[in-house]
Each structure stands twice: as structure tokens, then as C-alpha cells.
Amino acid sequence: MTTLITPPQESDDREAPTPPSRNTRAKVGRWALFFAMVVIAVVMLYPFWVMIITSLKSEAQFLSGGGFSWLSWKHLSATIPVGQEVLSSTIVCSASILIILVVGLPAGFAFAKLRFRTSTAVFLVIVSAMMVPLQAILMPEFVNVTKLGLTGGYFGAILVYAALGTPFSVFLFTTYFRGVPDELIEAGIVDGLGYFGALWRLVVPIAIPAIATVTVLQFIQIWDDLLVGLLFIQNTSERPITVGLAVLAAGRTTSIPELMAGSFISALPAMIVYLGFQRYLVKGLTMGIDR
């Protein structure tokens, strides 16, 4: 843009009358902007388009390129035990998130309001655990959980997910509870609630937004995860849907339209949760910086 000196009364209001040349230029700019946004939208929607279009073909139609049919959807449950796998995902997700909340809420309360002698150091240790990728400790973890006999059912995976999710939830709850006035807790104690009562009756109710943030983030993380489900749930009939899809895909023998139909089903719950609770996700992601 050229540096032109604008009269002061014009710069006060952007919608003020402007010379026609600038006006049309701004209009063109707006349209170019809108066009760019549409192009990006097309790129970002590409995975969904591929999933839907491809799943609406039979294997033969997929190979030849033309035509549509419901065949892949009809045969889906014979190839991929979708119902069973969605159920497994749901069980693993809910149980892990429940543990993460039940363990994280009192810990966050303790680190924020009931500080003990080494609490700062312990808090730092737990927060640093956020940085440890599972792959780094994969071998000992796998052998430990196997030796405990927990890879048979869901328990091994649930405990590993819970342990991996706990550091973040402790961090988030601690930060959140620091904002709760001490007087509120004191008043609760004076009223004879006890520390547990204060946590349950006073703190948890005002922590609903933080609880929602942890729940949504962990749901998407666990639902979408492959590694833990792949290794810590040995029984194929108890596989979560993401694992089921990945194993079939890596095998390279399953019909691609059916894989895409399964993918679409697996993506649906996470998409719904995401669209419904978008703001909690943003909050969780920018935690620690947006304060």
C-alpha cells in the first residue's frame, strides 16, 4: 500500500467514505481473501471428502473409478467388527478419563491449596512427566504391564492412558485452583466440611470448565491413539476402532472403500465432541500461555 496522508476525520472510522479507487481496491481485496479462505477450506475438507466418496463405491467401482453403491457399507460389519470396536473404544476412553479426573482433581487441589513440605518439587516432577513420550519407556512399560497380567483385557491400556494423561490434568487443575480464593476453602473448613468435603462440595463445582477441558482433550487423544491400544490390548476381539483400522490398513489386503467407511465411523464421535466443545479444546491447548 502506498503511503498516502489521510485526513484525520477519515482515519477515525474505517467505514468512512473513501476515494473510489481505494474502495474498489478494498473490495477486490476482500474477495481475494474470501477466495483464499474457500481454497483452504477445500484442502482441509479433503480427508472427509475422500472418506465419504470412496466409501460409496464397491471394490470394483473403486478400481475402475466410476459409479456409486452402498455395497461397502453393507459389507462393512463382516470385514470390520465396527460395533465391537466402537464399544471397546468407548470403554477404554471413559474408564481412562474417569481415573484421570479422580486422581487429578484432588492432586491439583493439594498442589494449589493444601501445600505440603515437598509439594513444589513433587509438582515439578509430575509436570515434567508430561514431556516423556511413551515410546521412550515403551519396552519396560510393556513388560511391566504384561507381567502384571493386565494386557489380557482393557485394564493395562486404561492404566497406561490414565498415567499418561494425569500429568497434564494435574497441571491444568493446579493452575485453575490457584485462582480460587483461599477464603472460600477456609470458610468451608470452618463450616466443618473437612478437606474432602471442601474439594467435593466447593471446588469441584467451580472447576466444571477445567474438567470439561481435560475430558475433551483426553477423549480426542485416547480415541485417536494407536500405540497403546495396539500393544496393551492383546485380545483382538477387544481392539479399539483406531487400532482395528490401522491393523487392517497395514495388512494391505482389506478393500479400501470398506476401510474408508470404517474410518468415517471412527472419526464421527471425535468430530462431534470437537464441534460441540471447541472452546474447551482451545482453552486446553493454550493453557499455560493465555493467562
- Which helix (H) or strand (E) is 67 found in, with range? none
Site for another protein (CB under 8 A): which residue of 71, 82, 91, 122?
A: 122
**Distance of alpha carbon 200 from alpha carbon 115, whole angstroms:** 18
Q: Which of 74, 46, 70, 48 is nearest to 57 (CA)?
A: 70
Binders in 244-263 for another protein, by CB under 8 A: 245-246, 249-250, 256, 259-260, 263
Task: Tell me which DSSP letter residue 5 carries.
Answer: P
Site for another protein (CB under 8 A): which residue of 22, 30, 74, 201?
A: 30
Q: Taking the complex as a whole, how short is the minimal distance between the CB of residue 133 and another protein, in angstroms?
A: 3
Q: Taking the complex as a whole, how short is the minimal distance between the CB of residue 68 and another protein, in angstroms?
A: 17
For residue 120, how many C-alpha atoms fall within 13 Å in the half-sphere facing its CB? 1
Residue closer to another protein (CB basis): 238 or 287: 287
Classify each residue of 183-211 as buried b or exposed e, where b means 16 or more C-beta atoms within 10 Å of its C-beta: eebeebeeeebebeebbeebbbeebeebb
Binders in 96-115 for another protein, by CB under 8 A: 99, 102-104, 106-107, 109-111, 113-115
- The three cell numbers locating residue 99: 481415573
Choose one: 16-24, 69-77, 90-98, 265-273; the region binding another protein (CB under 8 A).
265-273
Confirm or reject binding of residue 187 to another protein (CB under 8 A). no
Site for another protein (CB under 8 A): which residue of 91, 129, 180, 193?
A: 129
